[in-house]
Amino acid sequence: MPDPTVPAAAEPAEFDVVGIGNALVDVIAHANEDFIAREALVKGSMTLIETERAVSLYKALGSAVEMSGGSAANTMCGVASFGGRAAYIGKVCDDDLGQVFGHDLRAVGITFRPGGPENDTPTGRCIIVVTPDAERTMNTYLGVSSLLCAPDIDAATVAAGKVLYMEGYLFDRDEAKEAFRTAARIAHAHGREVSLTLSDSFCVDRHRSDFRALVADEVDILFGNEDELTSLYEVTDFDEAVAMVRSDCALAVITRGASGSVIVTGDGVVSVPAEPVERVLDTTGAGDLFASGFLYGYTNGMSLPECGRLGSIAAAEVISHVGARPLVDLRKLV
């Protein structure tokens, strides 16, 4: 009699990708380097902030624009923009920003599973300061998004996705780590693949051993950039990190900014060039959208170089304007 938790073959999938992440609305403003220095921000990274700091930073900030964000949510929007089928699990409050977040997912055809309700904790927001060099510095007030826990993981949704995609940013709380393991086990029990993005080298630093264990135990496809990968393995040499990830995961996709990306498998390394961009205006979402193109291609049977090319196209589109989600139909750019 077969083990019911390990089916012989996966059933037809309702979704190409199911994402889990911090559900955030971005508050985007432009500021110069003086502002970064004066507010003691860690340029180019993501810093978690509490209510008081969120209030004082927002007060110091110039006029802003509000747009739905969240790393894995941005990735799901990219998948949908390519024509893929995506679902998203993440927590919002029933306040203005929570309604905005839910609307903007559903408006592009994404199935949104917000998890169970919580009382009073507001929807999370990410204060993004874009400097004249197009670099983004993120300061995240997690709000209710960080309360994601195992019971919020809708098993049927996870089971219905070819690939589960999880965002490392969520990894700051034990409950979220447990939710990740729960989701990964559900996916694997249904013959699905599990992917993870490392999100941020500081986040990897804070939780290195947990990330290492998750990657070794559960992750089939790992996304990250150069800094995150070398931080994960505590090495300075990129090639050494590549060798280490090869023994951990079947597939790793490492972005290297303007130098493009490399796709690492047991068979070797595929290099993918970056797409040319006329003018880089805001690098927010570059990694998120790269992952969206890769995953859309991967779940639709394309070759690895082709998956990488779709990733580069999506990343190029999102860095050519302000905001972390595509402004055009990505399928038209292919």
Which residue matches tokens 């690098």? 283
Taking CB under 8 A as the criterion, the residue among 10, 36, 39, 58 binding its own copies is: 58
Residue 100 CA to residue 96 CA, distance in Å, equals: 6
Residue 295 CA to residue 192 CA, distance in Å, equals: 13
Stretch of 64-72, 165-173, 205-213, 250-258 contacting its own copies, by CB under 8 A: 64-72
Taking CB under 8 A as the criterion, the residue among 63, 119, 209, 247 binding its own copies is: 63
User: Strands 15-20 and 161-167, how do they pair?
Assistant: parallel
For its own copies, the closer CB: 127 or 264: 127
CA separation, residue 43 to residues 35, 53, 136, 199, 240 (Å): 11, 17, 7, 15, 27
Instruction: Rule CB under 8 A: say whether 97 interacts with its own copies.
Output: yes
Taking CB under 8 A as the criterion, the residue among 68, 111, 146, 292 binding its own copies is: 68
Residue 118 CA to residue 220 CA, distance in Å, equals: 32
For its own copies, the closer CB: 97 or 229: 97
Instruction: Rule CB under 8 A: say whether 4 interacts with its own copies.
Output: no
Per DSSP, the residues of 19-30 read EE---EEEEEEE
User: Strands 24-30 and 65-68, how do they pair?
Assistant: antiparallel
For its own copies, the closer CB: 66 or 237: 66
Total number of residues binding its own copies (CB under 8 A)? 24
For its own copies, the closer CB: 105 or 221: 105
Q: How many CB atoms lie within 10 A of CB 74?
A: 29
- Residues whose CB is less than 8 angstroms from the CB of residue 21 and which lie 6 or more positions away in sequence, other chains included: 70, 71, 72, 73, 88, 90, 166, 167, 169, 170
How many Cα atoms occupy the beta-carbon half-sphere of 126 within 13 Å?
26
Instruction: Rule CB under 8 A: say whether 108 interacts with its own copies.
Output: yes
Least Å distance, CB 66 to its own copies, is 4
Instruction: Rule CB under 8 A: say whether 95 interacts with its own copies.
Output: yes
Instruction: Rule CB under 8 A: say whether 250 interacts with its own copies.
Output: no
Instruction: Rule CB under 8 A: say whether 329 interacts with its own copies.
Output: no
Least Å distance, CB 243 to its own copies, is 41
- List the end-to-end C-alpha distance of the chain, in Å, as a whole number: 46
For its own copies, the closer CB: 92 or 184: 92
Tell me the residue type at 74.
Answer: N
Phi, psi of 45 (to 5 degrees): -115, 180
Which residue matches tokens 């969120």? 54
Instruction: Rule CB under 8 A: say whether 145 interacts with its own copies.
Output: no
Instruction: Rule CB under 8 A: say whether 279 interacts with its own copies.
Output: no
Residue 132 CA to residue 39 CA, distance in Å, equals: 16
For its own copies, the closer CB: 124 or 161: 124
Least Å distance, CB 62 to its own copies, is 5
Instruction: Rule CB under 8 A: say whether 103 interacts with its own copies.
Output: yes
Instruction: Rule CB under 8 A: say whether 48 interacts with its own copies.
Output: no
Instruction: Rule CB under 8 A: say whether 332 interacts with its own copies.
Output: no
DSSP character for 194? E
For its own copies, the closer CB: 61 or 286: 61
Contact residues for its own copies, defined by CB under 8 A: 58-59, 61-68, 77, 95-97, 100, 103-104, 106-108, 122-123, 323, 325
